[in-house]
Structure 1
Amino acid sequence: MQFNTLDDIRSFCRDLPGGDDECAEAAARRQQNLTKPPGSLGRLEDLAIWLARWQRRELPRLDRVTIAVFAGNHGIAERGVSAYPSEVTAQMVANFAGGGAAINQIARLAGAELRVEPIELGRPTRDFTIAPAMDTADFLMALDTGWRTVPEACDLLVLGEMGIANTTVAATLCAALMGGRGARWAGRGTGVDDAGLLRKRVAIDAALKFHRSLLDDPLAVAMSLGGRELAAIAGAVLAARARCIPVLLDGFVATSATLPLARLAPDMLAHCRAGHVSAELGHRELLRELQLVPLLDLDMRLGEASGAAVAVLLLRAALACHGGMATFAEAGISGAN
């Protein structure tokens, strides 16, 4: 699908494809008949049912798992809001290509294909304290990049990012759409000192003031205060919804990319789960706002889809039990009345 205007996105969000209720109900019945007390596998049972709903089959599988990591650079980095220079974004993309990053190791362990999409790293977005980060054409281009990255045939999509200064961008999006100032949302990100943290807060407050006239329009917020990698994540979430592909979201930045979409449609994220809650300030509050309960809480804050990729192993455990356990009838065991 091609989004030519912001209104095309709004129109898509008004008529979202749903999951398969019959497959979810069949999966729930199977859970009730497996050789265990009902509910004894806790959230593993819920995850199997969720996957059944969105894969549209009673016995879901994870044969084709794609991890998509989008990379972008930000004009706001020039204001000293990160402990690292913008060149690190491209250097980390090269590290991904060479197989040397954490996500490479976890993706291999999780049996997932890793796709890394750098988006115009040599042309950072504009400094959003003095101008919109992106114009409409730029935003739609990045959204389309995310859409096109999602395979037609995919059992699970895992979404993450890489971009120096993008925790500042994520915090600004949250402040714009959920309220509050920089002090409420700005965390230390890559490890800025107190002076750097103050610069982040000041930048967020300046951006909110400069763009105050558009804060009631979620897509205008995403375009003016966001980044290309965040727009790409939003595009991938839309593509996954169109194709009924379940999604695991990574940390604070990746989750913040979905907030403008969630403001357009209350059930926009029904096909998504939060892979983990990161140690970054604001992520827990954002997850509560989006009604996403994280699968893991490991104090991770690396980004690059690493936390969500670890959660793929949890989903594999859920499906191993869902598909591999015997029913009471198969095992010749008396079930509960």
Structure 2
Amino acid sequence: MIEFSDLEAFRKALTTMPDLDVDAQNGAAARNGQLTKPPGALGRLEDIAQWYAGWRGNPQPKVTSPQIIVFAGNHGVAGQGVSAFPPEVTEQMVMNFQHGGAAINQLARAAGAQLDVHALDLDRPTDDFTQGPAMSERDVVAALTAGWNAVRADTDLLVVGEMGIGNTTPAAALAAALLGGEAADWTGRGTGVDDAGLTNKIRVVAEGLALHKGQGDGLETLRRLGGRELAAMVGAIARARSLRIPVILDGFICTAAAACLAYTAKGALDHCIAGHLSAEGAHARLLDTLGKEPLLSFGLRLGEASGAALAIPIIKAALECHSGMATFAEAGVSAG
């Protein structure tokens, strides 16, 4: 188990991360050129396979041990009525995950993925970010560490997700603080607030921005405007990079958390791919800014890693085709 002493120690860890293995990626590209298909016939599946091969350091890999981690946290800002549901639902949904009754349980089983659920101090919500920073440095470092340590060493594809009533509000605040624009540009209906609820939510995000915007890099912004489950996702994504594990990003909340890494260390999300485009309106803009093209667009807005879990079979299929398909020489087929 690893513990970071402070945010600076975590920042330092980000500067020592491995890069893509160019030789493995080139080897995958060479193999791709010899497979029994016309050049480019499998479209984006070919690009995915070569990207994955480069991060795993293996020109002919397969996905055998995908892991999904759902982190749960509560938010002080939820007390301002930013969600259609009460904070008690966070703990209730964690119990649902643990008993196998949620959508993510079914999607994990269908994808052949290990599902782990981590509840982070649910009895101690973050502070209301309109009054001060959401987390102390100690709290955000603890959440980052929890995410880091939640990644299994044998994982070869990682999905991270979240559960936390009110957490589209800190996600919107993070996106606005990091990428610019007004609160209304990034704030959506989340779990389904009405027009009055949306107006209130925009007000809350705007107040948070007025207090914290421009006060530091992505990690400091995470401390000021984020939440424990968002920080844990950041820690897990960073840990995956250290282990050369490709990551599938989930929806708006997960992507906003990941943006904190992108705005702290250049190229920190190169090992990540966007699983889907959610129905939360600002997600498309966030993905465009980060240069991530989603694999799916099914109108999902559930969170809990559901969209990214749905994308796991696509990554698996890309690797099965790449690594399992015969070359022209192996099949005795003329390449023309």
TM-score category (smaller protein): over 0.9
* Code of the aligned partner of 1:32: G
Quote the residue 2:224 is aligned against: 224
The count of corresponding residues between Structure 1 and Structure 2 is 335
Quote the residue 1:78 is aligned against: 79
Quote the residue 1:5 is aligned against: 6
What pairs with 1:1-337 in structure 2 (closer than 5 Å)? 1-212=2-213, 214=215, 216-336=216-336
The Cα offsets for residues 33-92 of structure 1, whole Å up to 9 and x where unpaired, read as: 011111110110111111111111122121111000100000111111100000111111
CA distance in 1, matches of 2:231, 2:88: 21
CA distance in 2, matches of 1:197, 1:175: 16
The Cα offsets for residues 200-254 of structure 1, whole Å up to 9 and x where unpaired, read as: 100011111122461x432221101000000000000111111111111100001
Alpha-carbon deviation of 1:296? 0.7
The Cα offsets for residues 88-138 of structure 1, whole Å up to 9 and x where unpaired, read as: 111111111111111000100100000000100111101100111000000
CA distance in 2, matches of 1:255, 1:211: 20
Alpha-carbon deviation of 1:182? 1.6
Alpha-carbon deviation of 1:14? 2.6
CA distance in 2, matches of 1:116, 1:316: 23
Which secondary structure does the structure 2 equivalent of 1:316 belong to? Answer: helix
Alpha-carbon deviation of 1:313? 0.9
Q: Gapped runs of 5+ residues in structure 2?
A: none
CA distance in 1, matches of 2:281, 2:170: 13
Alpha-carbon deviation of 1:9? 2.1
* Code of the aligned partner of 1:231: A
Q: TM-score, normalised by structure 2?
A: 0.97
CA distance in 1, matches of 2:214, 2:286: 23
Alpha-carbon deviation of 1:3? 2.0
Q: Gapped runs of 5+ residues in structure 1?
A: none
Query: Do the aligned residues in 1 keep the contact of 2:72 with 2:163 (CA within 8 Å)?
Result: yes
* Code of the aligned partner of 2:207: A
Query: Do the aligned residues in 2 keep the contact of 1:47 with 1:318 (CA within 8 Å)?
Result: yes
The Cα offsets for residues 312-332 of structure 1, whole Å up to 9 and x where unpaired, read as: 011111112112211111122
* Code of the aligned partner of 1:15: T
Query: Do the aligned residues in 1 keep the contact of 2:62 with 2:320 (CA within 8 Å)?
Result: no
Which secondary structure does the structure 2 equivalent of 1:297 belong to? Answer: coil
Which secondary structure does the structure 2 equivalent of 1:195 belong to? Answer: helix
CA distance in 2, matches of 1:285, 1:97: 33
Report which stretch shifted further, 68-77 or 315-324: 315-324
Query: Do the aligned residues in 2 keep the contact of 1:182 with 1:200 (CA within 8 Å)?
Result: no
Query: Do the aligned residues in 2 keep the contact of 1:69 with 1:117 (CA within 8 Å)?
Result: yes
Percent of counterpart pairs with the same letter? 54
CA distance in 2, matches of 1:5, 1:330: 54
Query: Do the aligned residues in 2 keep the contact of 1:77 with 1:164 (CA within 8 Å)?
Result: yes
* Code of the aligned partner of 2:335: G
User: Please, what is the CA RMSD of the aligned residues?
Assistant: 1.1
Query: Do the aligned residues in 1 keep the contact of 2:251 with 2:305 (CA within 8 Å)?
Result: yes
